[in-house]
Structure 1
């Protein structure tokens, strides 16, 4: 992250903006501290245990958020530290919620830094979801563990090769997205910024009007395609290039996710044509873009969709819970958990009808273990419990119930915009108090790290012995 600060520093320097000093100074201090820690701990060994894994993951994201907040805090003297941390966590968790008004007038260095936070957080969550969380048995992710005893599911012989493959695919897709944005009318600066936040399903934009600023159907279509691409498991893209792996490309969560995108988009388009009397072409394009933006937890908007109709709000409300696929940059509950939960409910219904029958729970061709079922059930319970407690805490901070609920939901689901005038598509989080911003920052963090990863550290048993 310290090295990455060179990029916005160069942009500010070329623009004659004094903020380049902030990026150089912050990056230098962070690099120096990290170097001292690396030297001091050189040769030290730590026994790898689940507790070390939980602590490592949470600590990395917390420290990363603080480092990301420093340039935002020092660049503008009137920005509270809570707002700077909120912005950094929103970027790294690819939530896309912002406390900044007047993005069009913001220095380009800060705009680039926000997009880089999205980019870093996006690739970081993919690597974490595929290489770290499965070994911690968090949220049903063990089903996607790379080091399976089934050698046919082991894509690459070394974890480092898999991580390199993910980074290569992620970077290549970002570059292609940027070139298409540039081709269809964005400036080069806007194209790369939006490409980084599109593939990360982060939603940070360089304009207050988000993607709607460009008034281009072609840009909306490009964005829709790459938001979907960012919400699919990145390991699938690697399988395409490996011999005899393409036949294993089909994944139940991918099929269901794409089906949900199509069905909900068509439903939304019908409401726009029937209720709002919008032309069919415009209804399809705007519905597809905004629906995909919400279900993939990107958070881009082309217009205030809460003004469309009550039916449209209901569809968007449902989409906010779903999220993308496991092993992608998207947040939310995720489609794989919905499939596993559906399999559990179906098996229990069948057992009620035929008490002596034996029900095998399967995810595609794989059996679902009891451990995975327990992990998914615990995650779903904690998701809604955190949503309830977050809503209550935000209400105590003075937010009315709809704003508090939608803010908590959009934070824990890493979606971006909520509902209402304050945190809706036409507003932002700048008017919220510091306590409310700290609460939302915590919700964004636990939502991105699969909830259990963070909450287990808060339990007394974690620190015992």
Structure 2
């Protein structure tokens, strides 16, 4: 086992991806699709053989900095690893290009969920492969956030500990997150989190099957919910057989993307003892109450004007559709409730999809599978604004609430604001590059936000007309795929990788 851990992280990830190809191969064999079973099985054998050769070649390689090597491996995992994962996809889906297959795998492993193909064009085994890659990508960022990014004060942890590693404390003791060899941290947290991740996925799958969902759709939706990839083999919740009960079950599991306290509070610095103490959970709950209430009130006024306000079933369904979609986009999964369009039929008003896009931009919790800006950064800016307003009224007041709170209001808010500016600049650059490829400006802006926030399905609900990624030309697909990788890894991590001091040390 130790010899395997000495291998470069990207080689280990390549081996895991190669072995994962046998899962859809086995499913295709079980369903009698021998062509796809042969495609995935042969691809798995070939890629595993290539990985073994690479492992032998770099077995004695010792990087000068393990932290830098692992951070570079994450960049390669979201850009180069999909080149290998795309091999069985390109062979399984006929009449497509290798670039399209690479785009699909980048979208899956970054848990974005953007797709170039309608659901009915892809075979069931390919849908399973997309969902499985997204599930593995969600687990990768889950573990990497704790084992790699947290010790380097990246991925949102710079808000609570921007000055030095391990400065945040929990319960009066120094965090253990930065101690030990990075390889040991990866192994330790993988072993601790994999049973939780797998168990939650299995529980959701079993619940959906019991509610009448087909096993394939249930497992794909379960993996997509826990990884927040939003991948669906049937095109969304409106085509699922589990109905409202299935949506309610998925709604409960979205909570794991809002706050890390739900599963790994003890593993990370500044972990609250309960959900009630966690600022991310409180902000998420506040948005879950305020945004659906606002949407429901808007449609209620419209229904009052057209004299349909008394239709209680339609009103209840409209409220549920808003609540489910809000939490789905806040977790950056991007599932849209089957009742989302009921609001428009009830009130005669169009539902503002831009609200969902904004929620995807905010994103979920730090050290979760969710993307976006992260709720903890929003909380830091909120606390800083609250303190500045307080000083306008009481100029001589002293801010309290302890050392960690003061750090969040000052250095944490400063770093969060830098991240917001970098995110806005990146968004402008990506949208401008997409526009130069011939994409309409509004569509390029929507797709850029969806890619950088890893909320791929958002493109289909924001504008009056659905935005399809299939309309992109080849340069546009490459630009958007790079934006997905950048949105998953975050700009600060990429800047840290190219920091001369980081290489010098």
Shift of 1:343: 2.2
Answering whether residue 45 of structure 2 is matched by residue 59 of structure 1, we say no
Instruction: Map 1:418-429 onto structure 2 (within 5 A).
Output: 418-419=458-459, 426=466, 428-429=468-469
**Aligned match of 1:21:** 38
Residue correspondences, number: 459
Report the CA distance shift for 1:406/1:294 in structure 2 as closer, same or farther (over 3 A): same
State TM-score, norm by structure 1.
0.88
Shift of 1:39: 1.8
Instruction: Map 1:99-178 onto structure 2 (within 5 A).
Output: 99-101=116-118, 103-142=119-158, 150=169, 152=171, 154=175, 159=185, 160-178=187-205
Q: Please tell me whether the aligned partners of residues 23 and 71 of structure 1 are also in contact (alpha carbons under 8 angstroms).
A: yes
Report the CA distance shift for 1:70/1:460 in structure 2 as closer, same or farther (over 3 A): farther
**Aligned match of 1:407:** 447
Q: 1:257 aligns with which of 280, 284, 289?
A: 284
Question: 1:353, 1:217 → 2: CA distance?
Answer: 49
Name stretches of at least 5 consecutive residues in structure 2 with no aligned partner. 1-16
RMSD: 3.2
Report the CA distance shift for 1:334/1:239 in structure 2 as closer, same or farther (over 3 A): closer
Q: Please tell me whether the aligned partners of residues 326 and 336 of structure 1 are also in contact (alpha carbons under 8 angstroms).
A: yes
Q: 1:302 aligns with which of 323, 327, 337?
A: 337
Report the CA distance shift for 1:364/1:453 in structure 2 as closer, same or farther (over 3 A): closer
Report the CA distance shift for 1:273/1:356 in structure 2 as closer, same or farther (over 3 A): closer
Q: 2:255 aligns with which of 228, 232, 251?
A: 228
State TM-score, norm by structure 2.
0.81
**Aligned match of 1:237:** 263
Instruction: Map 1:373-452 onto structure 2 (within 5 A).
Output: 373-419=413-459, 426=466, 428-452=468-492
Question: 2:264, 2:153 → 1: CA distance?
Answer: 23
Answering whether residue 237 of structure 2 is matched by residue 211 of structure 1, we say yes
Q: Please tell me whether the aligned partners of residues 156 and 377 of structure 2 are also in contact (alpha carbons under 8 angstroms).
A: yes
Name stretches of at least 5 consecutive residues in structure 1 with no aligned partner. none
Q: Please tell me whether the aligned partners of residues 160 and 404 of structure 2 are also in contact (alpha carbons under 8 angstroms).
A: no
Shift of 1:402: 1.2
